[in-house]
C-alpha cells in the first residue's frame, strides 16, 4: 500500500480560539476540508494534504455556515414543513460535521500536542454550537409545530417521522423548553462537561505514555512470552538502554505479564501502575475531573427535570429506566460472585503450594487462572495464539461475512492514510456493487488511545436518490509483528477483532435515507448487538477450521485444541463477569446520585464495591480515574449495554445454531432488520422482527456458565 503519513503541523494561519472568525466564510481552495467533494478515490479523507491548521479553520467556518443556514430556516415565513425545516436542518451542517468527524477520529487514533490543544479549545465551542441550535426557541417552535401536527396522524414517511421524533426529543432534552436563565446555566454546564471529558481522555493517554518499566535483571522475566520480550528489548534499545527490557502499560504489555510472569512482584508493579492511570498525583490526575463530571451531570439532569442523570440518559434506551438496569445487573451479580468465589478458592490452593501465605491478590488472578487452565486443559494462550496470526484472522472474518452476507473485500493500494500501519479496503457485494470503504488500524502507538473501537469518517446517507456509501474505520491495539513472528493474537483479541468488525458491518451495510438515522445511530444498549453477535462466529468450531492455521507450519487448528477451546468457554467467567459488572454498577452509582457527591472518587469506588460484596481479589475492570467509557466517552449510565446486548446476541446466535451456522434466510433477516436499518425504528421492534419474539436471558447464562443451581430461581427472570 502507498503509505502517506498525515502531516500535523500548526501553521501561522491558525485561527485563535479567542479571535472572531473571518466575516467571509466562503470555501477556501487551500483548505482540503473546505472543498465540496474530496478528489480522492471514493472521496475518502485526503490525509496526505491535511495539516492541523485545516481542522480548526474548517470547524469554525463550518459552524458559521451552519448558523447561517439555521437562521434562514428560522426566518422562513412559510408554514413549517418537512422540507423547509427538518430536511433543511438535516443537511445544514455538512462542512462542520465532516471536518469534526475526521479531526476527532485522529485525536483518538493518531494524536499529538497540536491536535490535543485544538481539541481542548474546540470542546467548549462545539458544545456552545450545539446549544445555539437546540436551545433556539424560534427553531424549536417550528419543529414543535410539525411534531404536534404529525406525532400521531402523519403524512410523513416512517423514516421522516423518526427524524422528526428524534429531533423534537433532542430539543426538549437539550433544554429548549427551559427559561432563558436556566438555558444559560445549562449551556455553561455543557461547556464544562465538554472540556472535562476531553481533558479526562487526554490525561489517560498522557499518564499511560508517562509510565515506563525498565528491567535489567533477566531472571525477573521468566515465563513472559518471547514475542513480548523481543519487543521490550527493542524498545529499550531505542531509548539507549542496551541489554535491558522496557515495558509500558499498554494492554498488549500488561495482560501477558499478568498471565505469565513468574515474578509476583513484577506482576504487582505492572498491575498497580495500570490501575493507577489518572491517579498518580501529577498533572494528569483525573480524581477531581471524575467527581466534577458526576456532579455536573446531576446538575444538568436536575435542570431538565430528572432526579438523576441515569433517569435522563436511560430515557431513550431499550432499558428506559434505572430500576430496570439495576435489577438486570444484580440478577447477574449473585451467580457471577458465586462462580468467582469458587475460582478464588482454587487459586488460594495454588498460592499456598507456592509457599505464599498472602491471600489472593488481583495480580495473582490471571496468572493462576492460566496455570489452572494449562493443568486442566493442557493449553495456554501462547500456544493458542500461534494459530491466530492477524492476517489469517482477518481472512477468517472476510470468509464469515462473505458466507453470511455475500460481502467481498479488496485492499486499496493508492489511498491516503493517516499512519503507515493503516490498511484500507473496498467492500462490495458479490455482483461488484460498491458498499463502502473500511480502514483498519490494528497496532498500538503512543499517539493512539488504548482499547478497541469502530468509528466513521463518513456515515451512509442518500444523495439525489442514490445511496451515498460510508467510510468506516476500526481501531485495535494488537501486538506488532516481531523480527521472527507475525502479529499473533490471543483468543480474546480474536474475539475483539470480530467484535469491532460487527460494528463495522453495522456502519457499512446501513441503507437508510437520512444520515441522522444511519448505522450505529441507535441506543447504547442496542448498538452492541451487531458487534457481539459476530464474536459467536469467531469461536465456533466450524468457523475455526476456516481460518485458524499455525503461523509457521500452516497446520489447521486440531480438533483436540478446538474441543479444549469450547470447554474453556465458561472458564474464568466468574472473574470476567464480576469485574465487568463491578464497573457497570459503579457507573450506575455515579449517575444515580441525587445530591452532589462530596467524596474522594477512589474512596467512593472502594465503598461502592465493598457494599456490593466485591471480593478483594478482584477489582473493577475500569477504575474511576481511567473509566474512559463513562468519563470520556458516550457510555455514562450506559456501560451495562455490553451485557444487555449480550442477552440479545446469544439469543440471536442461538437461532443460527438451531438450524445452520450460515442460514441464508436468517442472515438476510438479520441484515435487513438489524444491520441495514440503523435507528429507523424502535430497537425491540427490529429485534422481534428478526427473532420472532423477545429475547431470553437463558442463552447468556449458559454461555457464561452462570446457569447454576445455587442461586435463587427468581433470579432467572
- Please tell me if the domain spanning 32-134+136-177 has the same topology as the one spanning 385-570: no
Residue showing cell 472502594: 606
Q: What pLDDT score does 714 carry?
A: 39
Find all residues with CB under 8 Å of 247, minimum gap 6, and list them.
212, 213, 214, 215, 232, 235, 253, 257, 270
Return the CATH architecture of domain 320-378+573-703: Orthogonal Bundle (1.10)
Give how far the C-alpha of residue 585 lies from the chain's centroid of Cα atoms, to the nearest Å: 18
Is 516 exposed, middle or buried (CB count within 10 Å of its CB: 0-12, 13-18, 19+)? Answer: buried
d(CA 634, CA 171): 19
Catalytic residues, by residue number, are: 500
- Rounded to an integer, the average pLDDT of 543-553 is 97
pLDDT one-digit tens code per residue, 385-441: 999 999 999 999 999 999 999 999 999 999 999 999 999 999 999 999 999 999 999
Residue showing cell 441522522: 516
pLDDT one-digit tens code per residue, 561-597: 999 998 888 899 999 999 999 999 999 999 999 999 9
**Is residue 418 within 8 Å of 110, Cβ to Cβ?**
yes
Find all residues with CB under 8 Å of 177, minimum gap 6, and list them.
140
**Is residue 608 within 8 Å of 293, Cβ to Cβ?**
no
Residue showing cell 448505522: 519
Is residue 7 over pLDDT 70? no
Which H, E and C letters describe 190-245, residue by residue?
Answer: HHHHHHHHHHHHHHHHHHHHHCCEEECCHHHHCCCCHHHHHHHHHHHHHCCCCCCE
Look up the CATH number of domain 32-134+136-177. Answer: 1.20.1050.40
Residue ranges per structural domain of the chain: 32-134+136-177, 211-275, 320-378+573-703, 385-570
Question: By C-alpha distance, which of 91, 49, 109 is closest to 442?
Answer: 109
**Is residue 553 within 8 Å of 283, Cβ to Cβ?**
no
Average pLDDT in the chain = 92
Determine the topology of domain 385-570 in CATH. Answer: 1.10.1370
pLDDT one-digit tens code per residue, 493-506: 999 999 999 999 99
d(CA 700, CA 577): 11
**Ramachandran category for residue 428: left, alpha or beta (phi over 0 → left; psi -120 to 50 → alpha):** beta
CB 327: neighbour CB atoms within 10 A?
Answer: 13
Identify the sign of the CA torsion 216, 219, 224, 228. positive
d(CA 39, CA 581): 47
pTM of the predicted protein model: 0.89
pLDDT one-digit tens code per residue, 131-170: 999 999 999 999 999 999 999 888 999 999 999 999 999 9
- Rounded to an integer, the average pLDDT of 257-278 is 97
**Ramachandran category for residue 423: left, alpha or beta (phi over 0 → left; psi -120 to 50 → alpha):** beta
* Residue 66, phi then psi, degrees to nearest 5: -65, -40
Q: What pLDDT score does 701 carry?
A: 86
d(CA 701, CA 103): 41
99 half-sphere exposure, CB direction, 13 A CA radius: 30
Q: For residue 248, what is the DSSP state? A: -
Q: In what order do the strands lie in the sheet with 408-411?
A: 408-411, 423-428, 434-441, 471-475, 453-458
d(CA 573, CA 458): 37
Radius of gyration for the alpha carbons in the chain, expressed in angstroms and rounded: 26
Maximum distance among all alpha carbons in the chain? Answer: 83
d(CA 130, CA 144): 18
Amino acid at each position: 500500500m502507498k503509505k502517506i503519513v498525515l502531516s500535523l503541523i500548526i501553521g501561522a494561519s491558525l485561527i485563535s480560539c479567542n479571535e472572531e472568525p473571518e466575516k467571509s466564510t466562503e470555501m477556501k481552495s487551500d483548505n482540503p476540508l473546505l472543498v465540496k467533494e474530496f478528489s480522492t478515490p471514493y472521496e475518502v479523507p485526503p490525509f496526505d494534504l491535511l495539516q492541523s491548521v485545516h481542522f480548526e479553520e474548517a470547524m469554525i467556518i463550518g459552524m458559521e455556515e451552519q448558523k447561517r443556514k439555521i437562521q434562514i430556516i428560522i426566518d422562513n415565513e412559510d408554514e413549517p414543513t418537512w422540507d423547509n425545516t427538518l430536511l433543511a436542518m438535516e443537511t445544514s451542517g455538512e462542512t462542520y460535521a465532516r471536518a469534526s468527524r475526521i479531526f476527532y477520529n485522529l485525536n483518538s487514533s493518531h494524536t499529538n500536542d497540536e491536535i490535543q490543544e485544538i481539541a481542548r479549545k474546540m470542546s467548549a465551542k462545539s458544545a456552545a454550537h450545539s446549544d445555539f441550535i437546540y436551545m433556539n426557541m424560534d427553531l424549536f417552535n417550528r419543529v414543535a409545530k410539525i411534531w404536534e401536527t404529525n406525532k400521531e396522524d402523519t403524512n410523513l414517511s416512517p423514516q421522516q417521522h423518526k427524524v422528526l421524533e428524534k429531533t423534537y426529543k433532542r430539543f426538549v432534552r437539550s433544554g429548549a423548553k427551559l427559561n432563558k436563565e436556566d438555558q444559560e446555566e445549562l449551556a455553561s454546564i455543557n461547556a464544562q462537561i465538554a472540556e472535562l471529558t476531553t481533558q479526562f481522555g487526554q490525561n489517560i493517554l498522557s499518564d499511560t505514555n508517562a509510565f515506563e518499566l525498565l528491567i535489567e535483571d533477566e531472571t525477573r522475566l521468566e515465563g513472559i512470552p518471547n514475542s513480548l520480550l523481543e519487543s521490550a528489548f527493542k524498545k529499550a534499545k531505542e531509548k539507549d538502554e542496551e541489554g535491558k527490557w522496557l515495558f509500558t502499560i499498554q494492554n498488549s504489555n500488561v495482560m501477558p505479564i499478568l498471565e505469565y510472569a513468574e515474578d509476583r512482584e513484577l506482576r504487582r508493579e505492572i498491575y498497580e501502575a495500570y490501575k493507577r492511570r489518572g491517579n498518580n498525583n501529577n498533572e494528569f490526575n483525573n480524581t477531581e475531573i471524575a467527581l466534577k463530571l458526576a456532579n455536573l451531570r446531576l446538575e444538568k439532569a436536575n435542570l431538565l427535570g430528572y432526579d438523576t442523570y441515569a433517569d435522563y440518559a436511560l430515557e431513550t434506551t431499550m432499558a428506559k429506566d434505572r430500576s430496570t438496569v439495576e435489577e438486570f445487573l444484580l440478577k447477574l451479580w449473585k451467580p457471577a460472585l458465586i462462580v468467582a468465589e469458587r475460582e478464588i478458592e482454587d487459586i488460594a490452593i495454588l498460592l499456598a503450594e507456592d509457599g505464599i501465605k498472602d491471600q489472593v491478590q488481583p495480580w495473582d488472578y490471571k496468572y493462576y487462572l492460566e496455570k489452572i487452565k494449562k493443568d486442566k486443559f493442557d493449553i495456554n494462550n501462547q500456544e493458542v495464539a500461534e494459530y491466530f496470526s492477524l492476517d489469517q484472522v482477518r481472512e477468517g472474518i472476510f470468509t464469515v461475512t462473505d458466507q453470511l452476507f455475500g460481502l467481498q473485500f479488496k485492499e486499496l493500494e493508492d489511498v491516503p492514510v493517516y499512519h503507515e500501519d493503516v490498511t484500507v479496503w473496498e467492500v462490495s457485494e458479490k455482483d461488484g456493487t460498491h458498499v463502502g470503504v473500511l480502514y483498519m488500524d490494528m497496532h498500538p502507538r503512543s499517539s493512539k488511545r488504548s482499547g478497541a473501537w469502530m468509528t466513521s469518517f463518513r456515515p451512509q446517507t442518500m444523495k439525489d436518490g442514490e445511496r451515498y456509501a460510508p467510510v468506516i474505520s476500526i481501531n485495535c491495539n494488537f501486538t506488532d509483528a516481531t523480527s521472527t513472528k507475525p502479529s499473533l493474537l490471543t483468543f480474546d483479541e480474536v474475539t475483539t477483532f470480530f467484535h469491532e468488525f460487527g460494528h463495522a458491518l453495522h456502519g457499512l451495510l446501513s441503507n437508510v435515507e437520512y444520515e441522522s438515522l444511519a448505522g450505529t445511530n441507535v441506543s447504547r444498549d442496542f448498538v452492541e448487538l451487531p458487534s457481539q453477535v459476530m464474536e459467536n462466529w469467531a469461536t465456533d468450531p466450524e468457523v475455526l477450521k476456516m481460518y485458524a492455521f499455525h503461523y509457521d507450519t500452516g497446520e489447521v487448528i486440531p480438533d483436540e485444541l478446538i474441543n479444549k477451546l469450547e470447554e474453556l468457554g465458561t472458564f474464568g467467567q466468574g472473574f470476567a463477569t464480576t469485574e465487568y459488572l463491578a464497573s457497570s454498577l459503579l457507573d450506575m452509582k455515579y449517575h444515580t446520585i441525587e445530591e452532589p457527591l462530596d467524596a474522594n472518587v477512589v474512596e467512593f469506588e472502594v465503598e461502592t464495591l465493598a457494599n456490593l460484596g466485591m471480593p478483594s481479589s478482584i477489582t473493577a475492570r475500569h477504575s474511576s480515574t481511567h473509566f474512559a467509557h463513562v468519563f470520556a466517552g458516550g457510555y455514562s449510565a450506559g456501560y451495562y449495554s455490553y451485557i444487555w446486548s449480550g442477552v440479545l446476541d446469544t439469543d440471536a446466535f442461538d437461532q443460527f445454531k438451531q438450524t445452520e451456522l450460515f442460514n441464508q434466510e436468517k442472515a438476510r433477516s438479520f441484515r435487513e432488520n438489524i444491520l441495514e436499518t440503523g435507528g429507523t425504528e424502535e430497537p425491540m421492534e427490529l429485534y422481534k422482527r428478526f427473532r420472532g419474539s423477545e429475547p431470553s436471558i437463558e442463552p447468556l447464562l449458559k454461555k457464561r456458565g452462570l446457569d447454576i443451581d445455587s442461586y435463587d430461581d427468581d433470579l432467572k427472570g
